[in-house]
A and B are shown apart, each in its own frame.
Chain A
Amino acid sequence: MDSKNSNDWLFEITPTNKFFSLNFKEIWQYRDLLMLFVKRDIITVYKQTVLGPLWYLIQPLFTSITFTIIFNNVAGIKTGSIPPFLFNLAGIMVWNYFTACLNGTSDTFKSNAGIFGKVYFPRIITPLSIVISNLVKFGIQFCIFVVFYIFFFCQGADLSLNISVLFFPVLIIFMGILGLGLGMIISSMVTKYRDLNNLVGFGVQLLMYISAVMYPMELIKEKLPKFGWIVQYNPLAYVIETSRYMLLNIGNISILGLVYTMVVTLIVFFVGLLVFNRTEKSFIDTV
C-alpha cells in the first residue's frame, strides 16, 4: 500500500455521525440542488392547473373570510379599529407559513424515502428547500395582503404602519426556523414511530387555537386569566402577535417576550439539527 499518502483520505464513511457535524461546505456545494428543489416545489404545484399560482391566494383569502364571519361577526371578537378581515389575513398568512414549513419538513424522511434510498446528497437540503419555497409562497400571499391593506386604507380605515415593520422579514425568518426545527425533530422521529404523523395532523390544528391567530393576545388574558399563560408562553402566539403589531400597529409586545421567542426558536432549531443529523445516516433501514 502506498505509504506516502495513506492518510489523505477525502472522506470516511463510518457507522454514526459525530455528535454534531453540519457540513456547511457540502451544503454550499449543493446549493444548485437546493434552488432546483425550490423551483420544483413551486412550479409543480400549478402545472396542469387553470388558475396556476392563484391557488396560493385563494386559500388564505377564503380562510380569512370564514374567520371573519365566524369569529368576528358571529362570536363577536373585537379587533379595535382594524378591519377584522385584515386582522385575520395577517394572522393566517404568518400562521400558514409556519404550518407549511412544519408539515412539509416533518414528512421529509418518509416522503423522500425513494430518493434518499437511492442517492446521497446532504439530507438537510430537502427541509431547507421546503422552508424556502414556502417563503416564496408567503411572499405571494404578502402581496395580496398589501393590496387589501391599500384597499382598506383608501376606504378610510384607521390604519397606520409601525416603524418596527422593518424587522418583519427577520420575524418571518424566525418563524421559518421554528417550523424547520420542529419539523426536523418530528421527521426524524417519524422514521421509526409513525404515531407522530397522526399527532402532527390534528396537533397543528389545535395549536392554532393557542397561537392567537384569530384573536388578540390581550383578549385571552382578559377572558381566561387562568389559562392565559398557555398562549403567553407559546412562542408562536408571540410571533403572530408581533407581526400584527408590526403590520397593523395593534396589540403590544415586550422585548422580553421577543427574546424568549428567539431563544426558544434557536433551541428548537439546534435540537432539530442534532436529531436530524443523527437520523439521516441510517433512517432508510427503519423508515
Chain B
Amino acid sequence: MKDIILKAENISKQYRLGEVGTGTLSHDLNRWWHKIRGKENPYLKIGEVNDRSKKGTSDYVWALQDISFEVQRGEVLGIIGKNGAGKSTLLKILSKVTAPTTGSIKSRGRIASLLEVGTGFNGEMTGRENIFLNGAILGMTKKEITSKLDEIIEFSGCERYIDTPVKRYSSGMTVRLAFAVAAFLEPEILVVDEVLAVGDAEFQKKAIGKMQDISKGEGRTVLFVSHNMAAVRSLCTRGVVLEYGKVIFEGNIEEAVNRYFDDEKQFAYKEWDKESSPKTNFLRLLNAKVLNEKEELELNHSITNSVAIQFTYEILEEGNTFTHGFNLFNNENVHIFSSHDKDSLTLVKPLSKGVYSKKIIIPGNLLAEGTYTCSFAIMRYNPFVVEFHEMDIVGFNVIDKFGGDTARGNYNGNFPGIVRPILNWK
C-alpha cells in the first residue's frame, strides 16, 4: 500500500513580466472589479508557456503549469530540469515561500526547506549564536538545538571559530556551519536546493553521506533539486523532470536523468557550413553521423548492438600527414575513453584533395545504458600537434535490455557502472 506523504495537485504559478510599476495599480483595480462582481480573475487566462528565449505577446507567463505528483514516505525525489524550467518556483511553493496561483499541495508532514544554506545568518553574531538563530528560522526549538549543539559543531568542523562572528568566516566555513544546522533538522519532509554546489570535495561527500543517512537510515522524505547529476543519481530514488513549467517525465531516476540530457545532446547527425566547420589549414570537417549496424542514421541503440560514428571531411591542401582522434563522454561528462587512429594510412601517405570518410565502431555490450557524446580531433605526429579538437559533435543513447546476450541478464534492479561489458567468469 502506498503511503503518500505529499501530494501536489495541478499547481500553476503565474508571474507578471516586466516592471511592476504604473500598470500594477490599474491591473489590481481591474482584478478587484472582476472579483466583486463574482467574475474570474481576467489575467489568469492570458498567460503563456514560459519559454524565455521566445518573445511572447502577453505580460503574464506561467512559470509552472498543472504540476501534479505524489511523494511517498521515505522517498528521495529528485527534481531536475534546465534553468528556467520551474524547479525553484516549485520548491518555493513547496516550502511555503510563495503561494501557487492555482492548485494545491497537501502534506502529511512538516516541511523544512533548505533553499539556500545560511538563510538568516547574521554576520555580527558568533557561530554559536547563529546556530540557534538559523535553527530557529528553520523551525527547530531552542531545546532541540541545545540537545544537538555538540553534534552540529562537530559536523561543521568549525569548532575553533564557533565563538567568532560569522563575518570573519571564510565562505566555505559559513556553508559548512549552515549545512550542519540544516542536516540536524528533523522535519518529515526536507526540501533541498543546490546546497551541494558549494564546499570542497570532502565536505560534499560528507553532505551527500548525511543526506543518504537522512533518507535511508531515518526514513525521512527528501525533495532534492540539483544540477549535479551524479549527486542526483546517487541520492534519489525517483525523479521528476520539468521543462518550461511542465512535468515531462516522472519515474525512475536513471531515466529521468537521461530525459534531462535528452534534448541538449540528442543528435545523431550534424553538418557544418564553410564558416562554422571545425577546420585546420588543410582540412575541414563536413559532417558526422551516428549509424546503426544497418548503416542507417540512428539515435537510440540497443546495448547489445555496435554503434558506428562516421566523420566526413574535405582535404583542402595536399601534402599533409595527419591522423584522427576520438573521445567518448557520458552524460555526466565522464570521459569514457579516448582512441587514436594510430595506424592510419594518412600518417604515411598524404591524401589528395577531395572528400573522405572515417568510421569508428564501438562494439556492443561495452557501454552502460545512458546518453553519450563524442568529440573528434585531427592530430599530427612528430611533433605531436592537435590541429583541432571539436567537442559535442554527435551523441546517441544506449538503451539497456534484459536477456542472455546482455551483461545484466535478467536482473531488473539498478545496474551501476559506466561501462557494461560481458566478462568471462571462470
Question: What is the interface of chain A, defined by CB distance below 8 A to chain B?
Answer: 1-2, 8-16, 29-30, 32-33, 35-37, 40, 43-44, 47-48, 114-121, 192-193, 281-282, 284-286
Q: Does more than half of chain A's interface fall in helix, strand or loop, or is it mixed?
A: loop
Of all chain A residues, the one with the shortest Cβ separation from B63 is A285
Q: Known contacts being A1-B2, A32-B136, is A286 close to B95, with CB within 8 Å?
A: no
B116 in contact (CB, < 8 A): yes
Q: Separation in Å of the A39 CB from the closest CB of chain B? A: 8
Given B92, B139, B140, which contacts A284 in the complex, CB threshold below 8 Å? B92
Contacts of B116 in A (CB 8 A): 118
Contact status B110-A15, CB under 8 Å: no
Q: Known contacts being A192-B24, A284-B92, is A48 close to B97, with CB within 8 Å?
A: no
Contact status A119-B97, CB under 8 Å: yes
User: Which of B99-107, B320-328, B397-405 lies at the interface with chain A?
Assistant: B99-107
Q: How many residues of B contact A (CB 8 A)?
A: 50
Which residues B1-48 have CB closer than 8 A to chain A?
1-4, 15-16, 20, 24-25, 28
Q: For the complex, what is the distance from the CA of A18 to the CA of B110, rounded to whole Å?
A: 20
- 8 contacts across the A-B interface (CB closer than 8 A): A1-B4, A8-B108, A15-B102, A47-B124, A117-B115, A119-B95, A120-B111, A281-B98
Of all chain A residues, the one with the shortest Cβ separation from B24 is A192
Contacts of A44 in B (CB 8 A): 122, 124-125
Q: Known contacts being A119-B115, A120-B113, is A30 close to B4, with CB within 8 Å?
A: no
Q: For the complex, what is the distance from the CA of A94 to the CA of B124, rounded to whole Å?
A: 29
Of all chain A residues, the one with the shortest Cβ separation from B70 is A1
Q: For the complex, what is the distance from the CA of A286 to the CA of B108, rounded to whole Å?
A: 30
Q: Known contacts being A118-B115, A119-B137, is A13 close to B100, with CB within 8 Å?
A: yes
Contact status A13-B105, CB under 8 Å: yes
Contact status A9-B107, CB under 8 Å: yes
Contact status B98-A282, CB under 8 Å: yes
B363 in contact (CB, < 8 A): no
Contact status A15-B120, CB under 8 Å: no
Contact status A9-B106, CB under 8 Å: yes
Q: For the complex, what is the distance from the CA of A40 to the CA of B123, rounded to whole Å?
A: 11
Contact status B124-A48, CB under 8 Å: yes
Q: Known contacts being A14-B99, A285-B15, is A119 close to B138, with CB within 8 Å?
A: yes
Q: Separation in Å of the B193 CB from the closest CB of chain A? A: 9
B350 in contact (CB, < 8 A): no
Which residues B135-160 have CB closer than 8 A to chain A?
136-142
Contact status B141-A32, CB under 8 Å: yes
Q: Separation in Å of the A63 CB from the closest CB of chain B? A: 26
Contact status A15-B101, CB under 8 Å: yes
B119 in contact (CB, < 8 A): yes
Contact status B133-A36, CB under 8 Å: yes
Contacts of B97 in A (CB 8 A): 116-120, 284
